[in-house]
Structure 1
Amino acid sequence: MQVVMRITSSTNRNPNFLMRLVSTHQQNVIKRDEQYGGHHFKPLPVVLDKGEGAYLWDMDGKRYLDFLAGFATVNQGHCHPRLVKVMREQCGKLHHTSRAFFTSVHGELAEYLTRLLGFDRFIPMNTGVEGGDLSIKLARHWGYKIKKIPTDKATVLFAENNFWGRSLAAISASTEPLNYKDFGPLVPNFEKIPFDDLKILEEKLKTNPHICAFMVEPIQGEAGVRIPTDGYLRGVRHLCTKYNVLWIADEVQTGLGRTGYRLAVDHEKQKPDILILGKALSGGMYPVSGVLASSEIILTLQPGTHGSTYGGSPLACAVALEAVRILEDEKLAENAKRLGNIVRTELETIPRDLATEFRGQGLLCGLMINKDFAQGWQVCLRLRDAGLLSRPAHGQLLRISPPLTITESQLREGLEIIKKTLLTI
């Protein structure tokens, strides 16, 4: 208990205290990072050197269960042999040309994804935030070309507490001051409404004919795994259709098996007008994201109106194609659904004075640590020492999002570490 209190009281004021909890070798790497890198992110003090499946190893050879999966990116597990093989083969064949030319694998990926997910066309990008930016460009362009919104009047609605990155457009959509304060002026015609509130959504759509799109995460991840009430997604689909507004589903984190279905919108059997994918689209092997939509929406873009040097490169497309095939072949969505039920059953037994709430679908889960009991960062430090890695969201929500390839025995081992750690702090 004495060590825990020292961690709690020293975490923010004296970061050097945390250095004493890792080896000298790792301390030197962390110090170099702190000296020469930016301080815009706060990593957990551990230096990772190797990964395989659901495990990570630090520089000293200590093994950890990974319950973060690169913020729900490494759905296929670390260094999946099939992904490594494709990466090596494509690098040795053709890794980059830009979209100045056709390549054989670009159309192959687009055909596979559109047929699998039921859309007409796919535009590849690199990062999730680029997918979000592109979806908004598409929606605005459609608004002007098809819906005939007056010039510069197109408005996009967002759910409050959204998170889809930190570009200027993304922070303009944010309701978190840390994201947008002192970065203005922000993008105009972005409005925010409460998440999971169909009444307010309809009021907005009814009163403003210049709204071209409503962008929402089917489950709000960074906001703390906030799951909407049953029927919300059906209601969003109905209202967007009724008022001729595009529904943009941000599935960068929830998509591709994470919540127990291919897509989180599949929980209510709904289809958005624009779908954004990222993260698991490449299994973390290479930055790949993209947007799927109808021909009507995507073909409003003419040559020169959008592009990306790396988006749709042969390497990106080959990796993404294999990553999604792995998800399908190994039935990882089904595995996430089955194991997610185990996570819920096990963690809901934790006393409420330690953890006040469990949230989750599939293997996108969170355990709300009682702030009167311990700080989330403190808990993650203790989990690290016990051989499990994760991070808190919003200070107190312990993220539980392991690779979807994790076995039941590995999962149960990790859950026991969590329960034992909380019971012994």
Structure 2
Amino acid sequence: MNIEDQQFRMQGVSLNELAKTYGTPLYVYDGQKILEKVSLLQKAFSSVNLKIKYATKALSNINILKLMKKAGTGVDAVSIEEVHLCLHAGFDPHEIMYTPNSVSFDEIKSAVDLGVMINIDNIPMLEHFGTFFGNEVPLCIRLNPHILAGGNAKISVGHIDSKFGISILQLKHVLKVVQAYDLNVIGLHVHTGSDILDAEVFLKGAEILFDAAREFKELKFLDFGGGFKVAYKPHDISTDIMEVGEKVSAAFRKFCKEYGTELEIWFEPGKFLVSESGLLLVKVNVVKSTPASTFVGVDSGLNHLIRPMMYDAYHDVVNISKLEGPERVYTIVGYICETDTIAADRKLKEVQEGDILAIKNAGAYGFSMSSNYNSRLRPPEILILNGKAHIIRERETFSDILKNQVDIGII
């Protein structure tokens, strides 16, 4: 969404008025943008039996989950708490894929009791599963394809040194475990990472997945994970979803014909569906010049958007208090007692104290990775749907900081 071309409005709603009404910092999500992204993915894979499993961890507000369900998606959950959240939002157990990592077997048993699809990513847990459930409970197996793909190294998860998945080199061991316990394997899963541009990466993963799938005779689906790249910068490139859909669908149809069954193809997009829908609105507290830089200090920081510091992620920033005027170069920083640079050396319309800045691509991993670091409060969330703004999370208060602390009364 180019908020500059729309005079700083989202679906006709003034962003400056939202900041005035609800205060800052403030997360704002464009519900229509989310629905458009779901529709685009459905269109790209219209020639195959597609199941979208939205990656809950990207943005887990129950209203966003309900919007996804209304759009026809399922969900991918990576913790038992996310499973419960998805059930609370109205998803049926069979619509939920549970893909944990390094959890206790008790958590997996809890997920089985809830009736969701279990995705196992290590051999010891596969053996525990076999010992406890035998062939009574269907499952999926997550494989590590050893493909180095994605942007920042911290979001590349399919390489040989990743903690995620069972190495494709251990497939024979997996097959022995499956045979020994007569496991009911109905799905295989791979995920190479995030910010993948090239359809060829998905095709390379597909071939590895197809080769493995030939060893399993009762499969119902193959899960290709997610990782589609979204645009961050002006004129930035993103994954050509239609090209990926065309090429991967053709390879998938060919495999299904060979396999003898029309399988489902699953994807687990998170960032692709919600990142571009979201803005983080912040207020300028101070404009501070040094011999090296001019800093714009705002009323937010890495406690509300950690991606720039954790992943060196680029987030475009717009001064929505200024439609016109000269541009100057600024470095936007937060109010946290750490180095929390949000954006370095950016051209903005001349900034003054009290101006409102909009930080783009805050829909994914903004609130969901936020914290109370420095005992700061987390912001409210607003969803704009059908041209109306709805508050979907209240701003925290100081009582929320104290809520679970216990004053033992003897100090």
TM-score bracket for this pair, using the shorter chain length: 0.3 to 0.5
Higher relative contact order (CA 8 A, sep 6+): 1
Normalising by the residue count of structure 2, what TM-score does the alignment of the two structures yield? 0.33
TM-score normalised per structure 1: 0.32
Greater Rg over alpha carbons, structure: 2
Question: Which of the pair is proportionally richer in strand?
Answer: 2
**Which one has a larger percent helix, Structure 1 or Structure 2?**
1
